[in-house]
Amino acid sequence: MFKNRLYKTLNIASNEDLKLFSKKSKIPTKKLKYYNEQGLLPYHEDLQSILQTTGFTEFELKIKLGILDDSILDLLNAHSKEISILMNNNLPQIESNSHHTFAFETQFGQMYQGDCVSLMNTMKNGSVDLIFADPPFNLDKEYESGMNDKVSEEQYLRWTEQWVLKCVDLLKEGGSLFIWNLPKWNTYIANILNKRLTFKHWIATDIKYRLPIKNKLYPSHYSLLYYTKGEKANTFNEQRLPLEICRKCGGDIRDYGGYKDKLNPLGINLTDVWYDIPPVRHSKFKTRESNELSMKLLERVISLSSNVGDLVFDPFGGSGTTYAVSEILKRKWIGIELGSVDLIKNRLDDLGYQQSYIEEIQGNKNVLFTEQMRKIRIKKGHWLPETLKNKDASN
């Protein structure tokens, strides 16, 4: 979380300051910039040179940069009383001038317009069963709300910490929290959550979302963090998927050998790599600006971690996917969006076709073969659970 701390620590406020410090310490400006922007502890002789130039001890520098290794945490722990007195026993309060207003309600939900942290400050701690959050990724995207999606990494991470901590407060004991983001940001978010909740999974959702980049692996997954408050989730409704088969010929992709008849008729266990979440292309509600997620993703998360009547909260409305799926699945929900909520209202006023889509998704899970798969397998003469049994019976 301590990006850009190095410059602050070294009193570097301008290019001139940077050049001057580079000259004194003999560390190239490019390298100082790298340490600063990445929030890293300088390496090897660079570290020694900074200590010499500034007169800081390594301990002092690490504290200033927020690099709290276990040995430092042990020391802070041993002196917590003195430190607390030194700080007047106060935790800093975060000032906020943001606001929110009530927008509309539906049979199951309440929608607000404005800033999510402002709304979360008014909600009861420990009141939400399931939180799903899909924040902006700081990628300079245009949002209808006109929000700035390209702030400094430091600003983005400070803001992230604010809303993530509020989510932790709002979650009920036994409740579940899911956060959808780029893997890079989710490493920072995991660092916050690991100190407060129980890590369940880093779910990799296979989506080719960018062009291949030179000297980098081709980024092809979004990360979905899954944590619970307390060791065990109050709700974990098993989700099973149909067997993967060849799309063209309907045949097996893997060799199940003698295990075919041992496969669970309700389908294959859901893993932490999700290959079957489609991009939203044809939705009638798709607008480029809203970065709408697939209803299939939300159907899975909500069915997995909540029951009818539970309360779902999503702090980043967008086009309202979480709210539409919650409404269809009869979960209570609370929503908020910084920009206009008109799109969300329209979407919730007309759930018909979305309801059919959810029914289709639900019809195609928790079975080993869907109806469509069965048809092609019968046509092409591939095995089905009943044909295995018939074979046994005739042997």
290 in contact with ligand SAM (CB under 6 A): yes
Question: d(Cα 25, Cα 46) in Å, to the nearest integer?
Answer: 8
Question: d(Cα 177, Cα 359) in Å, to the nearest integer?
Answer: 25
Tokens at 122, concatenated: 């008014």
Stretch that binds ligand SAM, among 37-45, 71-79, 239-247, 311-319 (CB under 6 A): 311-319
Tell me the chain's radius of gyration from C-alpha atoms: 26
109 in contact with ligand SAM (CB under 6 A): no
User: ∠239-245-246 over CA atoms, to 5°?
Assistant: 150
Q: At 172, which amino acid appears?
A: K
321 in contact with ligand SAM (CB under 6 A): yes
Q: Which of 10, 50, 197, 293 binds ligand SAM (CB under 6 A)?
A: 293
Residues of this chain, 168-197, that bind ligand SAM according to CB under 6 A: none
365 phi/psi in degrees, rounded to 5: -125, 170
Stretch that binds ligand SAM, among 41-49, 129-137, 198-206, 356-364 (CB under 6 A): 129-137
Stretch that binds ligand SAM, among 9-17, 85-93, 290-298, 375-383 (CB under 6 A): 290-298
> With contacts defined by CB under 6 A, how many residues of the chain interact with ligand SAM?
21
SS3 181: strand
129 in contact with ligand SAM (CB under 6 A): no
337 in contact with ligand SAM (CB under 6 A): yes
Binding string to ligand SAM for residues 338 to 357, with x set by CB under 6 A, is what?
Answer: xx------------------
Q: Annotate 290-324 with b (16+ C-beta within 10 A) or e (fewer).
A: bbbbbbbbbbbbbbbbbeeebbbbbbbbbbbbbbb
Q: What is the dihedral of CA 171, 236, 202, 239, to 10 degrees?
A: -140
Stretch that binds ligand SAM, among 71-79, 135-143, 266-274, 375-383 (CB under 6 A): 135-143
The candidate with the shortest Cα–Cα distance to 52, out of 31, 72, 11, 24, is 24
Q: Which is nearer to ligand SAM, 292 or 327 (CB)?
A: 292
282 DSSP assignment: S
Q: Which of 35, 36, 65, 115 binds ligand SAM (CB under 6 A)?
A: 115
Binding string to ligand SAM for residues 55 to 94, with x set by CB under 6 A, is what?
Answer: ----------------------------------------
Residues of this chain, 266-285, that bind ligand SAM according to CB under 6 A: none
Question: d(Cα 326, Cα 324) in Å, to the nearest integer?
Answer: 5
Q: What is the dihedral of CA 287, 291, 295, 299, to 10 degrees?
A: -150
The candidate with the shortest Cα–Cα distance to 175, out of 120, 235, 123, is 235
Stretch that binds ligand SAM, among 54-62, 86-94, 170-178, 335-343 (CB under 6 A): 335-343
Stretch that binds ligand SAM, among 150-158, 199-207, 332-340, 357-365 (CB under 6 A): 332-340
The candidate with the shortest Cα–Cα distance to 154, out of 7, 28, 31, is 7
Q: At 336, which amino acid appears?
A: I
Q: Which is nearer to ligand SAM, 65 or 293 (CB)?
A: 293
Q: Which of 10, 27, 116, 373 binds ligand SAM (CB under 6 A)?
A: 116
Residues that bind ligand SAM (CB under 6 A): 115-116, 134-136, 143, 145, 147, 290-293, 315-316, 318-319, 321, 336-339
